[in-house]
Structure 1
Amino acid sequence: MPERIKLPVRSKLTEKVLREAVPVVGRDYQIFDTDVRGFAACIYRGGGRAFTLDYRHAGRQRRMTFGRWPEWSVSAARERAKEIRREIDAGADPLAQRGALREAPRVDDLIERYCAQHLPKLAERNASDQKSALAKMVAPVWGRKLVTEITSTDVDKLLNKIAEGRPRPHKEKPNNRAKKLQPSKPTPVRANRIGEVLRKMFTLAVEWGWCEDNPAQRFHRRIETARERFLSKDEINSLAAALDAAEDRRAADIIRMCMLTGARLGEVRQARFEQFNLEHMSWSKPPAMTKQRRVHRVPISDETASIVRQRQLVVPRGTPWLFPSDTPGQPVQEVRRFWAQIQQECGLQEVHIHDLRHTFASLLVSGGASLEMIGKLLGHSQMQTTLRYAHLMDSPLRAGVDAVASAFRPKPRLVHDADDQGGRKTA
């Protein structure tokens, strides 16, 4: 019979003891320390070594592994064992606490639940943007952190980084890998939007009992400079001429409807024939199409109605979309290339399709429309959004000020000319 190896059961643990400990084939064993009760070094059959602490809690025998040798020195492990022993003597169960910590929800879990339960309530485009932002900007930084670990300082650091922007490829040659990236551009608006998403997400986390406070409740909101680009009369005429001459009538009509109705590009792309009442000259946009997730009914002009009638003639019967895609069963998806061509023809390089919506509002203002009317036509849910066009009303305001000044201006009065012997009156 092979000679049985006698293993040390209790010894003052030192670096030498662990270094000289011999692994046993087929089983692990422990060497308990003589100084700290329950503190031991476990010698694994594969040759590894780790520090453990045996203790009893509520009548149950427990064993906690808390560090590997040689990453942990014996002296450091002994001090940690003393700390754990003090917690146990105070009534704590460190092994149960570790298990609860391991099962505690992390930010990845919060993002997953937020996307599953909250985003379906939002408009499709908004939900898609939020999901993408969380996956690209939040999850890589916070994903493995516990929800309870996130602080307001963490939120500020993340939003500061987002606000700084990041280098992007030049738009002129996006496929040229050797071309240098453009320098970073500040993106304060994006930081504000993500801050709003985080605030909502952690508000729900508080409701779900995943944390007690919302670290994004009072995030620092950066100053936003609203984009103000309105087409001049000459630019409008040039755009109209280019659209009339365009070969792609489908894309041209989409751009024309954006200009004629002030609708968002997505609303026009997804427009259906059933939404238009040509007898009452109206367009009823369903909640799924609008940013505010509610029905938005607006009047349409004769020019817009003409586009709808023309599309009825060219679109195959049974197709619901005004602007169907080449892929069956879907509306058209892409008009950016067409818009880039129009920009080049008309010299509108700095004009976005969404600027047509702003131009629509500016023309309403010049026509005497009130802010309330503009808000209803554009589908704004908050007057604050419409107020961005208030400065365009300077002309009528100035006329009102001039009227007050005219009323207050002293009227001419008759006076006697001292040099006039005949007492002639002069004004």
Structure 2
Amino acid sequence: MVNRQKLTEKVLRDAVPAEGRDYQIFDTDVRGFAVCIYRGGGRAFTLDYRHAGRQRRMTFARWPEWGVTAARERAKELRREIDGGGDPLATRNAMREAPRVSDLIKRYVDLHLPHLAALNAADQRSMMEKFIGPAWGNMLVTEVSSYDVELLLNKVAEGRARPAKQKPNNRARKLQGAKPTPVRANRVGEVVRKMFAYAIKWGWREDNPAMGFRRRMEAPRERYLSQEEIARLAMALDRAEDDRAAGIIRLCMLTGARVGEVRQARFEDFNLEHLSWTKPATTTKQRRVHRVPISDEAASIVRQRRLAVVSGSPWLFPGDTLGQPVQEIRRFWARVQKEAGIEDVRIHDLRHTFASLLVSGGASLEMIGKLLGHSQMQTTQRYAHLMDSPLRAGVDAVASAFKPRPQLVHDADRSDAPANPPSQTAQRAGMKPLNAAGS
């Protein structure tokens, strides 16, 4: 027989657990509303109902965290939902099983990152571990809004305090203030946008909260070596004891290649007869094969490396680890920077310098893009301002044509000259010239 009575705080306190079984006390006011008395002494509020011909029981609150009055009001809300054709238990189970951002991150890492270059994949994994996961990991994929995206990117753009690189001594470890990182915020925004594009593709949500996120202003670094700096760099490389690292820097300068492409170059990639270098897709940023011509000087470096490298090694610049190319030359570059007096120059700036020299040689933007391996023309457009010199020459030519031509002034001593030639100033002013009497 069903145990029914009006549920009160006293009823719940006085209810005695049954040995070896759980039982329910149903409320007389709300149909299906009951309290379950567990054999261990715990108490929880439940709601029994039927949906689509099936008997359902939903546990929705525990006592004493929830009082009887609050639980009864919640039971009334659930009953109204059931009477409207809903199934609150199924809805709750679906919410529990709904994918969370942590699930989205895991699937994104498994399916998307393997197709990226190793450095790019590691960078995106770092973004998810440091920013996206801690902020949204426990949220449902459908709960993330455009407002959440903006809050996250604002936080990333503010930067974070980091240990100072220059320490006054070994004991002191001072912290630098937070340095704004707007570029990092833009990159995180791109990753978030890509992640939710996959979520839409997988049917996890219908819209992309990061679509059209506010991009922070980026000030692209523009550092080009002057002819004098190039000469000092060449002298520093000639004096360097590490011929291997010096060769990497020289090849970066002579080809405009990224340092990673040079480090991982193989002898088989070079055709010295046709003076060309075919970079495999695994080493290029655009993940496509990139074939470029090389100069005689670059080919000479390849020939010298053939003599210096142990027979059987495929790498142009083999590393200290057997079977691997050179992994790092930052310390070598720091010494070269100091010796050449170019402390503010990065290795990547050699690539920009290569492009600037191409411009000065009359190369078009399309040619520069092909040599540098740009997949998008807008990337090459950053070098467009270097073409101001020929444009300025054209403007100067127009200005020269528009200048007033010099007029011939007659000599007063010549017999064919007018007796009193009017002055050019008087003519321009519209004045009559004075006569000989000076009237």
TM-score, normalised with respect to structure 1: 0.92
Alignment identity in percent?
A: 75
Aligned AA for 1:352? R
Alignment pair present for 1:201 and 2:195: yes
**What residue is the counterpart of 1:385 in the other structure?**
379
Aligned-residue offset at 1:11: 2.5
CA distance in structure 1 between the partners assigned to 2:76 and 2:102 by the alignment? 35
**What residue is the counterpart of 1:336 in the other structure?**
330
- Residues 175-219 of structure 1: CA distance to partner in whole angstroms, max 9, x if unpaired? 968512211111111111121122122122112111111111111
Given candidates 295, 311, 315, the residue that maps to 2:309 is 315
**What residue is the counterpart of 2:431 in the other structure?**
none
Does the 8 Å CA contact 2:167/2:174 hold for their aligned counterparts?
A: no
The structure number with the bigger radius of gyration is: 2
Aligned-residue offset at 1:28: 2.0
SS in 1 for 2:59: strand
Aligned AA for 2:162? R
Given candidates 222, 237, 247, the residue that maps to 1:243 is 237
Aligned-residue offset at 1:18: 2.1
CA distance in structure 1 between the partners assigned to 2:21 and 2:170 by the alignment? 61
Aligned AA for 2:105? I
Aligned-residue offset at 1:346: 2.8
**What residue is the counterpart of 1:95 in the other structure?**
89
Given candidates 121, 142, 153, the residue that maps to 1:148 is 142
Given candidates 343, 361, 372, the residue that maps to 2:366 is 372
CA distance in structure 2 between the partners assigned to 1:417 and 1:377 by the alignment? 63
Aligned AA for 2:95? L
**What residue is the counterpart of 2:285 in the other structure?**
291
Aligned AA for 2:399? A
CA distance in structure 1 between the partners assigned to 2:20 and 2:9 by the alignment? 24
**What residue is the counterpart of 1:351 in the other structure?**
345
Aligned-residue offset at 1:359: 1.4
CA distance in structure 2 between the partners assigned to 1:83 and 1:93 by the alignment? 12
CA distance in structure 1 between the partners assigned to 2:234 and 2:117 by the alignment? 31
**What residue is the counterpart of 1:282 in the other structure?**
276
SS in 1 for 2:28: coil
Aligned-residue offset at 1:174: 11
Alignment pair present for 1:109 and 2:103: yes
> Larger deviation: 280-289 or 130-139?
130-139
Alignment pair present for 1:210 and 2:204: yes
CA distance in structure 1 between the partners assigned to 2:16 and 2:169 by the alignment? 61
Aligned-residue offset at 1:91: 0.9
Aligned AA for 1:224? E
**What residue is the counterpart of 2:407 in the other structure?**
413
**What residue is the counterpart of 1:394 in the other structure?**
388
**What residue is the counterpart of 1:259 in the other structure?**
253
CA distance in structure 2 between the partners assigned to 1:123 and 1:174 by the alignment? 38
> Larger deviation: 279-288 or 360-369?
360-369
CA distance in structure 1 between the partners assigned to 2:401 and 2:193 by the alignment? 53
- Residues 13-66 of structure 1: CA distance to partner in whole angstroms, max 9, x if unpaired? 222222333333432222222211111122222222211111111221111111
Aligned-residue offset at 1:173: 4.3
**What residue is the counterpart of 1:228 in the other structure?**
222
Aligned AA for 2:117? A
CA distance in structure 1 between the partners assigned to 2:170 and 2:288 by the alignment? 44
Given candidates 180, 191, 202, the residue that maps to 1:186 is 180
- Residues 105-127 of structure 1: CA distance to partner in whole angstroms, max 9, x if unpaired? 11111122222222223333222
Aligned-residue offset at 1:286: 1.3
5+ residue gaps, structure 1, are 1-6
CA distance in structure 2 between the partners assigned to 1:345 and 1:12 by the alignment? 90
| Aligned ranges 1:127-138 → 2 under 5 Å | 127-138=121-132
Aligned-residue offset at 1:386: 1.2
CA distance in structure 1 between the partners assigned to 2:243 and 2:8 by the alignment? 85
- Residues 147-180 of structure 1: CA distance to partner in whole angstroms, max 9, x if unpaired? 1111111111111111111111212249968512
CA distance in structure 2 between the partners assigned to 1:115 and 1:392 by the alignment? 40
Aligned-residue offset at 1:316: 1.5
CA distance in structure 1 between the partners assigned to 2:270 and 2:384 by the alignment? 30
Aligned AA for 2:89? L
Alignment pair present for 1:119 and 2:119: no
Does the 8 Å CA contact 2:26/2:35 hold for their aligned counterparts?
A: yes
SS in 1 for 2:57: strand
Aligned AA for 1:247? E
CA distance in structure 1 between the partners assigned to 2:325 and 2:9 by the alignment? 72
> Larger deviation: 358-367 or 148-157?
358-367
SS in 2 for 1:145: coil
**What residue is the counterpart of 2:263 in the other structure?**
269
CA distance in structure 1 between the partners assigned to 2:313 and 2:24 by the alignment? 77
CA distance in structure 1 between the partners assigned to 2:329 and 2:269 by the alignment? 22
5+ residue gaps, structure 2, are 425-439
SS in 2 for 1:298: strand
CA distance in structure 1 between the partners assigned to 2:215 and 2:130 by the alignment? 21
**What residue is the counterpart of 2:357 in the other structure?**
363
CA distance in structure 1 between the partners assigned to 2:169 and 2:190 by the alignment? 34
Given candidates 50, 60, 66, the residue that maps to 2:60 is 66
Aligned AA for 2:315? W
Alignment pair present for 1:56 and 2:42: no
Call closer, same or farther: CA 1:174–1:339 in 2, change over 3 Å: farther
Call closer, same or farther: CA 1:375–1:177 in 2, change over 3 Å: farther
**What residue is the counterpart of 1:301 in the other structure?**
295
Aligned AA for 1:44? Y
CA distance in structure 2 between the partners assigned to 1:91 and 1:385 by the alignment? 56
**What residue is the counterpart of 1:171 in the other structure?**
165
SS in 2 for 1:412: coil
Paired residue total: 421
Given candidates 20, 24, 38, the residue that maps to 1:26 is 20
Does the 8 Å CA contact 2:254/2:298 hold for their aligned counterparts?
A: yes
Aligned-residue offset at 1:423: 0.7
SS in 1 for 2:292: strand
Call closer, same or farther: CA 1:162–1:96 in 2, change over 3 Å: same
Aligned AA for 1:40? A
TM-score, normalised with respect to structure 2: 0.90
Call closer, same or farther: CA 1:270–1:19 in 2, change over 3 Å: same
